[in-house]
A = this chain, B = another copy of it.
Amino acid sequence: MKRNLTNGTGLSNLAAYCTNPSVKTLVKRLLPLLATVSLFGAIHSRGQRAPFENDLMPLPSTLNVSGDPVAITSAFALSFKGATNPLLIASARQLLDRLEAQTLVQLDKNPRSSAEAILSIEVDDTSMTRPTLGVDESYSLDVNGAQGKVLLRAKTIFGAMHGFETFLQLVQPSPNGFVIPPVHIVDSPRFPWRGLMLDAGRRYMPVEQVLRTLDGMAAVKLNVLHWHLTEDFGFRIESKKFPQLHELGSEGQYYTQEEARNIVQYASARGIRVVPEFDIPGHSTAWFVGYPELAAAPGPYHVEHENKIFNAVMDPTRDSTYKFLDVLLGEMAGLFPDEYMHIGGDEAKTVDWMANPAIVIFMQKHSLKDGKALQAYFNLRVQAILKKHGKQMVGWDEILEPELSSDVIIQSWRGTEFLGNGARQGHRGFLSQPWYLDHMYSAAQMYAADPLPEGNTLSPAQAKLVLGGEACMWSNHLSWINEESRIWPRSAVVAERLWSPATARDTVDMYRRLDATSLRLDAIGVNHLVEPQRAFRQMAGSEEGARKLALFTSILQPVDYRERSKEQHPSTVTPVGHLADFTAPDPSPRRTLPILVDAYLHDRNPEKHEAYRTQLHGIFMSWLASSSAVNALAATRPLIAEVSQRRGELPQLAFLGLEAMAYIESRNAPTSDWLTTQKEVLSRASLHKELLDFVILDPLNDLLKASEQSQKSQ
């Protein structure tokens, strides 16, 4: 079949097919509207691309562009210079598989001689089989268009893997097929600890979902899976030494040791360390179901379902507790080869300690003045156990006490200030707040945070103790409808903050690249786009209904964690069950509608103004169409029915926009009654309601003001 590359034919070309003048007029009037319905994305359309548009994420340390691109044809092949190892070979094979899936160009997967190959891979040290903290992750990538060759160099296989991901991000369509643009990249990470925490304790995530999350992490150069494996709600890993931990403490939802080993191996093959967390002495109810003798209170215990913090806590005064931990953590040390193990240590309640006379006597005897001191005593003993098993200890903020030996790593959930405090006390540490993914911060807010913020007062030696950070996916409110869309694409922004130079700060550019990254994650099988679409299809009962519902929810987002706790009383565990659970944080209209409104109000070019007007008009009309459909669905869908206030506000906001535009266009003054009504509409819409916040009120307010002022200025 001949590949005939025809250039795009626009609206005027289309009309050439039309012979009926009245039809032609109608089409000319209506088509722009149809073409732009819900077309927020047009602002950042990737349809037509410049010769090289840098949409890499994370941004590399240095990148230059010169020379010609290299085409991806069926002649594409790779070669290894020097030594190799099985992980590198497997990773290179995946590069080819993914390149083939991306381009649909059939590739020969066998390595060739360097003369025959397009991509040469040169790795200095191929001895490693798993990544370790601080391993050299640097690489360089040189595209030589004149020779039609690409050279990837790295110190370690893990650097090479990062280079592979950059290579795949660079591939882009061109009029002559796919190419690699002529870039010259020298790249290495700013921080060595770039993590994602998964909370398996609250919600078991199926193995294949963990694996594709690892794929997503590798794609954005995250290198630590912090696996929160135990909680009041579940003990999620098989123990052969104490089988009642998982048998009685997980309701059947746990990872077998074989599955865990496979996950660790899969992570290693992607340059990702797995740091398991066994959260003690609090958050440990699930341990006590099978082993109540570990607890400070007599029990009995059952796996908890309520969404709150429990009093259940280990008894740190009995030697038997430490014997148990010695055997268990020894077993787990064998299962998880990484040099670090997380012991949680957060939110341990002291109620059960103080209610237990034996514990109180123990505290007096050992001069432990309060619960904090008792926990510090516990931590010291646990640390000794970990050392015995070759592990260094990691814990949350709370474990930071003067007694703690300085090789313990502190994970800060209280922000950069506390991270700095740890560093001043000689502790290595990493940042996790404001990167809690369940707190519903926007990507921009997460991007603004920095483990070493500008103006910090740490000495260079102290700054070196700041290892990086972690995005944390607490799973209090997760289910199949929102698990992956809470994690992605926002975690990619944390990945960039931790990898790229501190100077990468341009939020507009970040969002442009994040959109591209989101599609790349989709391509490798991450379900953050698939998942909400499927959920809406199920709720609406049709593809078309799903789209209308998605349009409604795209201008809403879930209230933040604090607000949710206020609005929703977590009397029984209800991980999901409201429309808010179907909505995504930071939906794109939050950032695209202000841009469009601004352009509409301020661009004096009449043709552009008309285009913006049409697009904005189409958006408000689409809200009305969505409103119709969503109200119809509410009749049989309780979750939609219950957001009656938000449903009622949707057409009000649409008409606010349409009418403000009508006043602006006609230069007629709105009445003060109308203005008062609209201000009330905005004011009511701005309240937290039904677990949902509107995200597009600022640009509507701008339109409202403009409708008021445009009159005055004429």
Contacts and interface: CB of A to CB of B under 8 A. Distances in A.
B22 A632 contact: no
A713 B545 CA distance: 40
A104 interface: yes
Contact of A47 (B5, B177, B251, B541): B541
A639 interface: yes
Nearest to A542: B41
Given A48-B636, A173-B636, A175-B635, A22 B662 contact: yes
A684 to B, nearest CB: 13
Nearest to A550: B543
Sorting the interface of chain A by its residue count into under 10, 10 to 19, 20 to 34 or 35 or more gives 35 or more
A208 interface: yes
Contact of A523 (B39, B48, B534): B534
Interface in A1-55: 1-11, 14, 17-20, 22-23, 26-27, 30-31, 33-35, 37-39, 41-42, 45-49
A443 B480 CA distance: 30
Contact of A632 (B48, B177, B574, B625): B48
A621 B14 CA distance: 11
A8 B38 CA distance: 23
A658 B627 CA distance: 28
A23 B621 contact: no
Contacts of A174: 636
B529 A638 contact: no
A625 B31 contact: yes
Contacts of A530: 530, 533-534
Contact of A574 (B47, B106, B208): B106
A578 interface: yes
Contacts of A519: 537-538, 541-542
Contact of A20 (B11, B537, B659): B659
A698 B632 CA distance: 33
Nearest to A46: B541
Contacts of A633: 8, 47
A480 B35 CA distance: 29
B208 A632 contact: no
B659 A19 contact: yes
Contact of A652 (B8, B17, B523, B568): B17
A170 interface: no
Interface string A609-653: 000000000000110110111011111111101101001000110
A599 to B, nearest CB: 18
A577 interface: yes
A41 to B, nearest CB: 5
A169 interface: no
Contact of A101 (B5, B22, B480, B625): B480
Contacts of A523: 534, 538
A79 to B, nearest CB: 19
A479 interface: yes
Interface in A523-540: 523, 529-530, 533-534, 537-538, 540
Contacts of A109: 251
B538 A621 contact: no
B14 A628 contact: yes
A102 B540 CA distance: 12
Interface string A354-379: 00000000000000000000000000
Contacts of A39: 544
A690 interface: yes
A177 B479 contact: no
Contacts of A480: 101
B6 A632 contact: no
Contact of A35 (B573, B629, B663): B629
A651 B541 contact: no
A1 B47 contact: no
A463 interface: no
Interface string A536-577: 011011111100000000000000000000011000111011
Contacts of A19: 655, 659, 674, 677
A30 B31 CA distance: 12
17 contacts: A1-B642, A6-B631, A7-B635, A8-B631, A8-B632, A9-B631, A20-B663, A30-B33, A33-B34, A34-B621, A35-B628, A41-B542, A41-B544, A47-B636, A104-B577, A105-B577, A106-B577
Given A8-B632, A31-B628, A39-B544, 12 more contacts: A1-B578, A4-B641, A6-B647, A22-B666, A30-B621, A33-B34, A41-B545, A104-B577, A106-B577, A173-B636, A522-B534, A529-B537
10 shortest interchain CB distances as A-B pairs: A46-B541, A8-B632, A8-B631, A173-B636, A34-B625, A20-B659, A5-B641, A3-B642, A35-B625, A41-B544
